[in-house]
Amino acid sequence: NLLDIFIEMEKRVILGKGKLDILKRVCAQINKSLLKIINDYEEFSRDFGQSLPNEKQTSGILSDHQQSQFCKSTGESAQTSQH
């Protein structure tokens, strides 16, 4: 499924914090709304990182707290975004 693809991309260091170019190119070709979500995520993580500079970064793209905050800002449930 799509989540497995993202996980594999992250393991291969193709996808990760600051490494969304390939994903953005693919989404631009297949679904512009996904591209908007990625762009929103990048903007959110920049703003969130500046507001909490001492937060410990995890190896994943979003920490659980960041994911929860991002889901609230986009109106998506955290459960949906994890699966």
List pLDDT tens digits, range 26-70: 889 998 998 898 888 888 877 776 665 555 554 455 566 666 666
User: Is pTM beyond 0.75 here?
Assistant: no
Q: Residue 83's pLDDT is what? A: 46
Q: Structural domain tally of the chain?
A: 1
| Helix H or strand E segment including 22 | helix 21-30
72: containing domain: 2-53+60-82
> Distance between CA 36 and CA 51 in Å, rounded?
22
Query: What does the pLDDT average to over 77-82?
Result: 48
Q: How confident is the model at residue 80 (pLDDT cuts 50, 70, 90)?
A: very low
What are the structure tokens assigned to 73, written together?
Answer: 């800002």
Instruction: Compute the C-alpha angle 38/12/50, nearest 5°.
Output: 40
70-80 as b/e: b if 16+ CB within 10 A: bbeeeeeeeee
Q: Residue 9's pLDDT is what? A: 83
